[in-house]
Structure 1
Amino acid sequence: MFSLSVLLSECLSTTRKMRRALMKLLTVDGIDIAVEKKRVRNLNLRITKKGVYCSVPMYVSYKEAEEFIRTKIPWIRSKLKEMPGDADIPECEYKTGDKVLLFGEEKQLLIVPSEKFSYDIVDDTVIMRIPADSTAEDRKNAFRLLSKELLGERIAPFMSAWGNIMGVGEIPYTVRTMKTRWGTCNVTKRRVWFSDMLAEKNDRLIEYVVVHELCHLFECNHGERFKALMTKYLPDWQERRKELNGRQVASGTSHCF
């Protein structure tokens, strides 16, 4: 018969093994990041004096986690440079004074208590009117909602202009939450979907994704014909793609992301 101490020792050993099985060290653009699958709802990044840590929902693959992390590389590099060796970076609560990244520009949040949700952008300030008892999650969702709406408006002139240039006319599109891709095109339905993460990016990068997806109306895969189309319409598309995927360090990125 096993003693209680032996059983406890085996249980602790099994727990540690299970945790190790759910944790993986990824190296993304030269940065080591510990990724752990947990019972959480969202993908979260945290930077401490010990390093970079990312927790992801159980159903998210490590490949999807890596793609998410890659979009945050500019922010990670910026924060690693700014961080005093012994201080943790607090998670954004979307409260007054917090900074957010909107269309490539850092803006400051101003939360105004109100019964109904509404918002305004005044210079470098995002004014969000939201109930006084709202939680950090409520404010995060409200910011995502306004980001989607603004992104849809931002995309419209690009879709119209490039639809005419490429001879495909007005193609309907939708902005939705997508964590593993910037956009997708359904050739049969002749419809395009864009990720709400594009709301963080500048117009130059949004335009790249628009052209990329419209090119799929002529070529489904990413072979030589597709690349030739991209070069024809957007000669610097490869540079834009690298910037979009976070391989170039951006300055002034928000600590809410």
Structure 2
Amino acid sequence: MSTLFQIGEVAVEIQRKSVRTLRLTVSPPDGRVRVTAPLRMPAATIEEFVLARQLWIRKHQARIAALPQPARLAYTSGETHYFQGRPYELRVLPTTSRSRVELDEQYLLLYVPEGSSSAEREIALAAWYRSQLKAQIPALLAYWQPVVGAQAQAWGVKQMRTRWGTCNVRARRIWLNLELIKKPTACLEYVVVHELTHLHERLHNARFWGLMDQFMPDWRQHKATLNQRVAGMQQPAGGDAD
């Protein structure tokens, strides 16, 4: 559950979770400020933490405000859309049957009923992206779980605004961001390994990154590719897995 507070000059969304330390993020596109805090941490401690970082917050809000805003996709023919790291030109074509997507070397062919709205076309394309991503995950888990030496009991795909992936250590369940299907497959593998590694170490500490070096020595390269901003592609505000 999140609660909005005014702390000093900044509106702050405070979210309490089962974590050990405070975490502060400033997120595009509007410079929203969020603090993730331990469940029982006193409010005064959180307020002191935020007040001490007012200048840092303002600096990052100014940087975000100066970023070029991504163009709003209309899901019309001629737009560029991505699949597994490659750009494709979208072609919207009429059909009298169910909506579907086909892919060739140059075009992403979206078949939708005549007169469909941009929202309907977006839903149809998202459904195809979801099916493509979900089809790839079992094989990746089958390969990487023995390498990492940890097994997820459940996994899922969802649209996430702030993270490429998350791991519920207690339930041994991982979630992967739907946007990963637009990135190169190596980026998806990096996030899978990242989340599986949390089953050994919950925190992003030296032990965690040491394990990542052991399981996937080139993870830094994949992480850098993952976080490259590409026009027309949504980028989670946090810019990493969790």
TM-score by length of 1: 0.61
One-letter identity of the residue aligned with 2:76: K
**Hey, what does 2:135 align to over in structure 1?**
153
**Letter of the 1:137 counterpart:** A
| Contact 2:187–2:226, Cα closer than 8 Å, also in 1 | yes
| 1:90 Cα offset (Å) | 6.2
Larger radius of gyration: 1
Structure 1 counterpart of 2:91, one-letter code: L
**Paired residue for 2:167?**
185
**Residue pair 2:76, 2:91 contacting (<8 A) in 1 also:** yes
**Cα distance in structure 2, aligned partners of 1:172 and 1:107:** 32
Cα deviations by residue, 1:155-195 (Å, 9 ceiling, x for unpaired) = 33211100122233464311111110000111121111101
Name the counterpart of 1:61. 32
5 Å-filtered alignment, 1:1-257, equals 54=29, 61-62=32-33, 91-114=72-95, 115-169=97-151, 171-246=153-228, 253=230, 255=232
Structure scoring higher RCO (CA < 8 A, sep ≥ 6) equals 1
Q: Deviation per CA, 1:93-135, whole angstroms, max 9, x where unpaired?
A: 1112221011110011122212411222222322222111211
Aligned to 2:240: none
Q: Match of 1:147, as an amino acid?
A: Y
Superposition deviation, residue 203 in structure 1: 0.9
Structure 2 contact 145–151 (Cα < 8 Å) conserved? yes
1:95 alignment partner, SS class: coil
Task: Give the conservation status (yes or no) of the 8 Å contact 2:148–2:193.
Answer: no
Q: Gapped runs of 5+ residues in structure 1?
A: 1-20, 23-42, 44-53, 80-88
In structure 2, C-alpha distance between the alignment counterparts of 1:137 and 1:103, rounded to whole Å: 23
| Residue aligned with 2:91, SS | strand
d(CA) in 2 for partners of 1:184 and 1:91?
Answer: 27
Query: Which residues of structure 2 form unaligned runs of 5+?
Result: 1-9, 12-27, 36-59, 235-242
Corresponding pairs, count = 181
CA contact (8 A) 2:84 2:181 kept: yes
**Identity across the alignment (%):** 27
1:20-73 Cα distance to aligned partner (Å, 9 max, x none):
x99xxxxxxxxxxxxxxxxxxxx8xxxxxxxxxx5x6xxx82569x89x99xx8
- CA distance, structure 1, for counterparts of residue 124 and residue 104 of structure 2: 17
Question: How much does 1:239 deviate?
Answer: 2.7
For 2:199 and 2:153, how far apart are their aligned partners in 1?
10
Residue identity in the other structure for 1:61: R
User: 2:152, 2:173 within 8 Å by CA — same for their partners in 1?
Assistant: no
Contact 2:165-2:175 at 8 Å conserved across structures: yes
